[in-house]
Structure 1
Amino acid sequence: MKFEHLLSLVNGFGRFQMMIIIISFIGRFTLPCHFLLNNFIAAVPSHHCDLSALDDGSVFGNLTQEQRLTVSVPVQEDGTPSSCKMFPEPQFHLLSNSNNSDLATVPCQNGWAYDNSTFKSTLATEWDLVCDQKGQNKATTTIFFIGVMFGAMTFRSLSDSAFSTSFIMFAVLRFFTGFGITGIVIVSSVLSVEWVDIEHRKLVGVIDSLSWTFGYCMIPAIAYCVTDWRQLTIAVTSPLALAILIWRWIPESARWLIANGKFEKAYFYLQQCAQMNQKEEFGSKITPETLSSIIVTERKDRTHSYLDLVRTPKMRRLALLTGIVWYGVASTFYGISFNITGFGLNIYLTQFVYGAIELPAKLSAYYLLDKVGRRNTEVGSLLGAGVCLAINIFIPRDMSVLRTVVAVLGKGCSATSFTTVVLYSSELFPTVVRQNGMGYNSSMGRLGVSLAPLILLLDEVWRDLPQVILCSIALLASLVARMLPETRDRCLPETIQDVEDGQTGKSLAGSQVLEMTDIPLKSKDNVEVENGY
């Protein structure tokens, strides 16, 4: 007998499962606020060299601000003042002759003056992370996601970065912020899948993903109201206090406890589930001793580690393929998400539209996951994202509306791929190493996210190079996803041996839930053991 059969006794989708979903939702909706926070706290407003030192010396006389810029700062090709260069001396003749192409320039000598109409303060304006230092500004996103990559379930230092007094201090604390919130993603995703029956697994996966969409749409609204980067950091962190308080009610995975021989503890949570779901008859049919007999083929008397992901041939293949897909999905999703200033539109509106498109994208995922399967949905959505990225390479820059529409469509495809890969990969790994597998996949995804901001910096080498790289990554990931097995309507594998034996693929329809009245579960000596799926 498999765990799915036990779920049929306690109700695989009742109040107990709804409690897990709601608690996970509260914690998870804050994640995009942190993951996308750098789009706002590290935003670079319009700026030019600070001319106040020259003004103090009465060099400009009665010149207007526009005239001061004309004689002091060269004009770029688009007609705007240069952000990083100035003339060594005021060029007053430019007031009558606008040709400044042959004049010598120097880097800004006295800092920068920033346009504060959109942001009161950002990392860039506080520590002058522009021009030659703009790489450090982008690096804050990479540092945060490196922290996420190595993170575990800890919540300390989540808001300390708001009180940083230097860039180095901020970068270090952002690393630990990322480190601290990783557990929310891994634990909530795994528990949501493991506590529900096969029929509702897809629904729970999509609901879990919609919590992200909610947070995605919230961050631009919060950032619009809070324009100081320190206050914004505190604002998006505060809801985690509630998540910490209610996280104590999240149950452990009974499936994992059984697979690891912890039957008494598993029985406690199964009873708790049965009581909440009003299935009181569970206690009269199942005992802790019964569990040890029923799941005898699933029990291993050792602790599993990340090494188990690569000890056997099919597990190695599974880890390699899912790791590549996660890297591709994350790189594509965040490569698009971080590029919110490249279309000439309002930064808040662009971010909101990027979030809003996820709702229809995830509803389409809900439909497609059953109609065409997990694998085809993953392959198709990655392919769609890659095609949209490729199309935008050939659309002229001055057609900002069309470019935005195509980018939003690409964002929708990437959101579908992310929704699918979380559910898909959790169904591929066996119970005994599912959290290890999801942790590994999450790390591969965060590696992709960490490199995405650095890929966007390559636009200085060639304007369209970031788009070409992201497009190539998406297309490669779609090809790799095609090599994974389908999991639609399949029982979750329990042990590594199940994966090696190819038992990941047997449908529940081929192993129907046994009528409990036909099995004398109370009698330990008469328990039937069902092998396979």
Structure 2
Amino acid sequence: MADFGEILRNIGEFGLFQKINLIALCFPNIIQSFSLASLLFVEFDPDRHCNTDWILSAGPNLTTEEQLNLTLPREEDGSFSRCRMFVPVDWDIDAIRENGLNETSGCVNGWVYGNMLYDTTIVTDFDLVCDRGNMVQVLQTVFMAGMVLGFLIFGPAAESFGRKRATQIPAVMMLVFMVTTAFCPNVYLYLVSQFLAGIAFGGYRVNCIVLTTEWIGASKRSWGVGVTQLFGAIGQCVLAGFIYGIRKWRLAQLISATPLVLTVVYIWFIPESARWLLNRGRTEEAKKLIIKAAAINKRPIPDSLLEEIKVTNSVNEGGIKLIFGSRLLTRYFFVVSLAWFSLNISIFSLYFNMANLGLSIFVTQLLFGVFEVPALLLSMWLLEILGRKILFTAVLLIGGLCSMLILAVPESYPTASTCLAVASRVCMIFMASVCAVYMQELFPTSVRQSATALGSMAGKVGSILAPLLNMLSVYHWAIPISVLSSVTIISGALGLLLPETRNKELPETASDAEGNRARVGAHIPEGLCALEECCDVSRPPGGSLSLCYWS
């Protein structure tokens, strides 16, 4: 019987068919980087004062300075209040000048903004200042919550309805809700639209990774995840220049949605995962796609190989319960999920706080993107050279230490803080590829998508908590960095519990997944291992076998 790994070796593990499929599915990830633009490129505390034009009806010839002196109270430092005003009165201008105004209230007619870095932002359009100042963090959290729900909905849906359908629907949703977000008249509709957009982005992200990976052979499997991340990094670089040139958030939102029109057209022609079709017992459909892939890759495929295709048909193998029905798979899941959580809370905590790192937000954004590109290219190479386990542990430890070192940098050295933040973020982006690859390789086909979705969901829980964690800086600026650094370092240490999966075929069944146990390198005499197949390794030169650990 020929398993799918053998079929890929015959038709090409990473030929033209896989490359076209990969680029087509990854292209929307450039736009996904823009999805946070309206949430990120804001001025949290812009220069402002209450709108007091009411007094102009009494004194139309007042200068701006006179208007502010008569209508705004002053703070202890002598500056005009940014959140308070004198209560309007129905007096003439001479009476106001003679008696003055004493009773104050909040800004009843909105604010007047000045010295803005942008023309318009959601802060200025929706007046998210003063007592509504924390609303930006709430909006960030709601978007991330939408992504979590997207993982939860479209991850398991892909197991039942296919990887293709669970990718197409979110693609359409992304276009629709990026457009509706640009036209929201108030913050409440904006919140709903961003939540639905988050569902779409989460659903697409998790499914496009699995759909590409299941068509790629073991020798290039990390490329499926790496290129997906790479397109996102390119989007980060483009985003810095894009927002620098277009400083109106509604216009930026609409322009960002334009390329998705192309995606919505071609996404219907993306092939289904043949591995999933075989897993569902739909052999004839899988054969047609395999023949098509072989033709595009210009590789002959023997008829005898098609006749010997192994149909796993593990639909009823246990579903998502399979993950938690095995102590071994449960351990793998929680270790990788915790790492995914820690890297996301680090990435987004630093990302949403980059305006406070000291350098220009545009420069910091560009650095975040520029350094991610070589990091992701390096990750695709090192994953195949060094393997998964050593990178999992080392990168998390290095990233956590870089974050922790920010605490030791004085505020007078913003460049040093920014460099450490960029280094930590690069490590975490690198780590995202490792986590995604690990999830593909540790779990069988019947629950691979669900495991990936749940792991991604754990990551997005970290994203949700990131803006809330940043709010703790009001108690002490070091609290957010201390928490995210500690969690990251702990996650790296737990990576020692994972097995190495480099150059192994994707597991099709639970028993295959359990066979991906870690093996120690010490060799023992041949007689101590009764059955060679118990260790799932080839006999090395010299006639000895590696010692195996069993549950």
Paired residue type of 2:436 = V
**Deviation for aligned residue 1:140:** 0.9
- Which residue in the other structure is 2:467 paired with? 453
CA spacing shift, 1:106–1:373, aligned 2, 3 Å:
farther
The secondary structure found in structure 2 opposite 1:493 is coil
Aligned mates of 2:341, 2:61 — CA distance in 1:
54
- In the TM superposition, 1:176-215 aligns within 5 A as 176-215=196-235
C-alpha offsets along residues 175-209 of structure 1, whole Å, 9 cap, x if unaligned?
11111222321222112222112222233432222
CA spacing shift, 1:67–1:49, aligned 2, 3 Å:
closer
- Which residue in the other structure is 2:23 paired with? 22
- In the TM superposition, 1:154-193 aligns within 5 A as 154=169, 155-156=172-173, 157-158=176-177, 159-193=179-213
The secondary structure found in structure 2 opposite 1:358 is helix
- In the TM superposition, 1:464-479 aligns within 5 A as 464-479=478-493
- In the TM superposition, 1:435-450 aligns within 5 A as 435-450=449-464
CA spacing shift, 1:84–1:509, aligned 2, 3 Å:
farther
CA spacing shift, 1:303–1:73, aligned 2, 3 Å:
farther
Contact 1:260 1:299 in 2 (8 A): yes
- In the TM superposition, 1:334-345 aligns within 5 A as 334-345=348-359
Matched, 1:46 2:46: yes
Residue of structure 2 aligned with 1:402, choices 413, 416, 436: 416
Aligned mates of 1:461, 1:162 — CA distance in 2:
35
- Which residue in the other structure is 2:96 paired with? none
**Deviation for aligned residue 1:303:** 7.0
Contact 2:368 2:425 in 1 (8 A): yes
Aligned mates of 2:286, 2:232 — CA distance in 1:
30
**Deviation for aligned residue 1:501:** 4.2
Give the number of equivalent residue pairs: 490
Matched, 1:462 2:480: no
Paired residue type of 2:285 = K
- Which residue in the other structure is 1:279 paired with? 299
Contact 1:44 1:122 in 2 (8 A): no
**Deviation for aligned residue 1:320:** 1.9
CA spacing shift, 1:324–1:60, aligned 2, 3 Å:
farther
C-alpha offsets along residues 228-251 of structure 1, whole Å, 9 cap, x if unaligned?
222221122221111111112221
C-alpha offsets along residues 259-294 of structure 1, whole Å, 9 cap, x if unaligned?
2322111111111111111123x152333x532xxx
Contact 2:214 2:275 in 1 (8 A): yes
The secondary structure found in structure 2 opposite 1:482 is helix
Aligned mates of 1:402, 1:70 — CA distance in 2:
44
Matched, 1:487 2:474: no
Aligned mates of 1:325, 1:163 — CA distance in 2:
37
Contact 2:52 2:71 in 1 (8 A): no
The secondary structure found in structure 1 opposite 2:27 is helix
**Deviation for aligned residue 1:18:** 0.9
Aligned mates of 1:475, 1:247 — CA distance in 2:
39
RMSD: 3.1
CA spacing shift, 1:495–1:135, aligned 2, 3 Å:
same
- Which residue in the other structure is 2:125 paired with? 126
Contact 2:73 2:80 in 1 (8 A): no
Contact 1:46 1:83 in 2 (8 A): no
Contact 2:72 2:81 in 1 (8 A): no
- Which residue in the other structure is 1:416 paired with? 430
Aligned mates of 1:301, 1:161 — CA distance in 2:
39
- Which residue in the other structure is 2:34 paired with? 33
- Which residue in the other structure is 1:327 paired with? 341
CA spacing shift, 1:375–1:244, aligned 2, 3 Å:
same
Contact 2:350 2:425 in 1 (8 A): yes
Contact 1:120 1:227 in 2 (8 A): yes
- Which residue in the other structure is 2:390 paired with? 376
Aligned mates of 1:455, 1:148 — CA distance in 2:
18
Contact 1:121 1:228 in 2 (8 A): yes
Aligned mates of 2:434, 2:476 — CA distance in 1:
33
**Deviation for aligned residue 1:485:** 1.5
Aligned mates of 1:80, 1:285 — CA distance in 2:
84
Paired residue type of 2:13 = G
Aligned mates of 1:62, 1:184 — CA distance in 2:
55
Contact 2:218 2:505 in 1 (8 A): yes
CA spacing shift, 1:217–1:475, aligned 2, 3 Å:
same
**Deviation for aligned residue 1:341:** 0.6
Aligned mates of 2:366, 2:407 — CA distance in 1:
23
**Deviation for aligned residue 1:169:** 1.0
**Deviation for aligned residue 1:467:** 1.2
CA spacing shift, 1:29–1:63, aligned 2, 3 Å:
closer
- Which residue in the other structure is 1:113 paired with? 112
Matched, 1:226 2:246: yes
Matched, 1:312 2:319: no
- Which residue in the other structure is 1:267 paired with? 287
Give structure 2 stretches of 5+ with no counterpart.
89-101, 155-165, 520-532, 540-551
Give structure 1 stretches of 5+ with no counterpart.
90-102, 512-533
Residue of structure 2 aligned with 1:236, choices 256, 260, 265: 256
- Which residue in the other structure is 1:522 paired with? none
Aligned mates of 1:33, 1:510 — CA distance in 2:
48
- Which residue in the other structure is 1:366 paired with? 380
Aligned mates of 2:278, 2:70 — CA distance in 1:
72
**Deviation for aligned residue 1:126:** 1.4
Once the two structures are overlaid, the 10-residue window that deviates more, 167-176 or 469-478, is 469-478
CA spacing shift, 1:69–1:322, aligned 2, 3 Å:
farther
The secondary structure found in structure 2 opposite 1:30 is helix
Aligned mates of 2:423, 2:517 — CA distance in 1:
37
Matched, 1:348 2:349: no
Aligned mates of 1:165, 1:63 — CA distance in 2:
29
Aligned mates of 1:66, 1:485 — CA distance in 2:
71
Aligned mates of 1:37, 1:504 — CA distance in 2:
45
**Deviation for aligned residue 1:142:** 1.0
Aligned mates of 2:236, 2:66 — CA distance in 1:
39
Paired residue type of 2:138 = A
CA spacing shift, 1:244–1:58, aligned 2, 3 Å:
same
**Deviation for aligned residue 1:497:** 2.0
Aligned mates of 1:114, 1:182 — CA distance in 2:
35
Paired residue type of 1:465 = I
Aligned mates of 1:343, 1:70 — CA distance in 2:
36
Contact 1:24 1:188 in 2 (8 A): yes
Paired residue type of 1:373 = G
Aligned mates of 1:494, 1:342 — CA distance in 2:
48
The secondary structure found in structure 1 opposite 2:134 is helix
The secondary structure found in structure 1 opposite 2:112 is strand
**Deviation for aligned residue 1:26:** 1.4
CA spacing shift, 1:65–1:438, aligned 2, 3 Å:
farther
CA spacing shift, 1:470–1:278, aligned 2, 3 Å:
same
Contact 2:147 2:203 in 1 (8 A): no
The secondary structure found in structure 1 opposite 2:355 is coil
CA spacing shift, 1:306–1:428, aligned 2, 3 Å:
same
Paired residue type of 2:144 = F
Aligned mates of 1:301, 1:349 — CA distance in 2:
50
**Deviation for aligned residue 1:133:** 0.9
- Which residue in the other structure is 1:145 paired with? 144
Percent identity over the alignment? 26
**Deviation for aligned residue 1:73:** 3.6
CA spacing shift, 1:350–1:305, aligned 2, 3 Å:
same
Aligned mates of 1:75, 1:487 — CA distance in 2:
63
Paired residue type of 2:120 = S
